[in-house]
């Protein structure tokens, strides 16, 4: 199994599982550009350097098969950067592929999953994973000084998912306070602004 390019997937926004997988591929393309000297660089996530951010994403992916297997997860997960080992890309690839297998199980998107925030359908868990991957792909790219593009349809799907939770986002410690982007901004910039990222000049 491989992480496909987003262009090889169904039309973005139409399938929560495949959208989450497309977001993983975007994060992975940025991750492959990370060198050892980048690991201590600070990221837009306050208090997280590059190594901690990658560890967070790896832990999130590793949790997916556990959730779909019915295992309970703690409300908060301690970030342990030692989990990355000597090859962060290889470690990420292993956990990402396990998450992909879980998302693609028959009936996974309809399955009710005991998520730390409450029981949710698998489709909602996949959308949360998509949001996390896309936001942190931009965080990682910004930290190491490379470009990342989020397809407009994928960003639109993220916005459609997040807008009903806008009041919760405003009081969330997970994301920064939403920032209004300039008028006529792309869906990518509007999505990042909703996460508290100022991704425009």
In a domain, 194, yes or no: no
In a domain, 150, yes or no: yes
130 pLDDT above the threshold of 50: yes
129 pLDDT above the threshold of 80: yes
Q: Provide the pLDDT for residue 100.
A: 97
5 pLDDT above the threshold of 60: no
Q: Provide the pLDDT for residue 37.
A: 96
Q: Which residues contact 160 (CB under 8 A, 6 or more apart)?
A: 13
* Cα-based torsion angle of the residue sequence 191, 103, 85, 175 in order, rounded to the nearest 10 degrees: 20
Residue 6's pLDDT band (boundaries 50, 70, 90)? very low
Give per-residue pLDDT as tens, 101-115. Answer: 999 999 999 999 998
In a domain, 122, yes or no: yes
Q: Provide the pLDDT for residue 13.
A: 59
Residue 84: CB atoms within 10 Å: 18
Domain CATH code at residue 35? 1.20.120.450
**What range does the domain containing 24 cover?**
6-174
In a domain, 151, yes or no: yes
Token code pair at residue 44: 């837009």
Q: Provide the pLDDT for residue 184.
A: 92
Distance CA 180, CA 171 (A): 16
Token code pair at residue 35: 């060198």
Q: How many domains does the chain have?
A: 1
Q: Which long-range contacts (CB under 8 A, 24 or more apart) does 175-184 make?
A: 175/135
Choice among 92-96, 142-146, 173-177 with the minimum mean pLDDT: 173-177
10 pLDDT above the threshold of 50: no
In a domain, 181, yes or no: no
- H/E element holding 114? strand 112-115
End-to-end C-alpha distance for the chain, whole angstroms: 39
In a domain, 190, yes or no: no
Q: Provide the pLDDT for residue 46.
A: 86
- Number of residues in the chain: 201
In a domain, 11, yes or no: yes
| Contact present, 3 and 21 (Cβ < 8 Å) | yes
- Mean pLDDT over each residue of the chain, to the nearest integer: 89
Distance CA 50, CA 167 (A): 29
Q: What is the mean pLDDT of residues 87-109?
A: 97
Give per-residue pLDDT as tens, 20-61. Answer: 999 999 999 999 999 999 999 999 998 899 999 999 999 999
Q: Provide the pLDDT for residue 11.
A: 54
| Contact present, 27 and 133 (Cβ < 8 Å) | yes
Q: Provide the pLDDT for residue 8.
A: 43
3-state secondary structure of 1: coil
Distance CA 59, CA 80 (A): 9
In a domain, 186, yes or no: no
């Amino acid at each position: 199994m491989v992480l496909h390019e987003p262009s090889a997937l169904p039309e973005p926004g139409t399938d929560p599982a495949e959208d989450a997988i497309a977001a993983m591929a975007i994060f992975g393309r940025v991750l492959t550009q990370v060198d050892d000297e980048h690991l201590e660089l600070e990221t837009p996530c306050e208090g997280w350097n590059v190594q901690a951010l990658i560890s967070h994403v790896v832990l999130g992916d590793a949790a997916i098969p556990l959730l779909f297997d019915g295992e309970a997860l703690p409300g908060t997960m301690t970030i342990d950067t030692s989990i990355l080992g000597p090859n962060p890309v290889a470690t990420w690839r292993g956990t990402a592929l396990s998450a992909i297998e879980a998302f693609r199980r028959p009936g996974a998107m309809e399955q009710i999953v005991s998520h730390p925030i409450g029981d949710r359908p698998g489709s909602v868990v996949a959308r949360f994973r998509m949001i996390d991957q896309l936001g942190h792909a931009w965080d990682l790219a910004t930290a190491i000084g490379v470009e990342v593009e989020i397809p407009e349809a994928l960003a639109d799907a993220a916005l459609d998912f997040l807008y009903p939770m806008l009041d919760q986002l405003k009081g969330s410690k997970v994301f920064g306070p939403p920032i209004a982007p300039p008028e006529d901004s792309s869906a990518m910039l509007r999505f990042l602004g909703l996460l508290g990222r100022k991704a425009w000049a």
